[in-house]
Amino acid sequence: MGKEVSIPFLDDFLVEYPVKDDKEAIQNLLTDWANLKENLHIMYEKRDQKNTLQGMKRGIVLFIQFLFWTNDHPVKKNEPIQLSGLEIKPVNLDERLSFILSRPNLFHSYRQLSELMMEQEKLYAKKTIVKKRLTPKG
């Protein structure tokens, strides 16, 4: 996939970048993902291809936003996504995201997206703990 990723539907779902390290915005994003994930699971069970594709597009954008927000970067409209400069990201992100983008309707893509969200959530929690430990008390 390289270092740049173009996501044609990104601007359709993109939310404005919150204030740096805005825990509430990230929590809202994770709540949106949890609801969407549940709905996607149901859609895959029903084989609802049309709504599944739309839901996956939204899920991919939520992941991209979460990935960038947890790295303290905004996602910019009308620009390719730069993954190489991100420090906090799941292992093999390029390949995994490439697979999801090439076949968003597959159930395996949904599972992979779910795994990426879960891994990024763990990495964000680790970052938060380390940041608290390094911040002087007073």
Distance (Å, rounded) from C-alpha 78 to C-alpha 120? 24
Report whether 43 contacts 52 (CB < 8 A).
yes
The two beta strands, 81-82 and 4-5, are antiparallel
Report whether 113 contacts 100 (CB < 8 A).
yes
State which residues form the domain around 115. 4-134
pLDDT for 80-104, tens place per residue? Answer: 788 888 999 999 999 999 999 999 9
Res 1: pLDDT: 43
pLDDT beneath 50: ranges in the chain: 1-2
Our count of domains for the chain comes to 1
- The reply to whether the predicted model has a pTM over 0.75 is yes
Report whether 86 contacts 73 (CB < 8 A).
yes
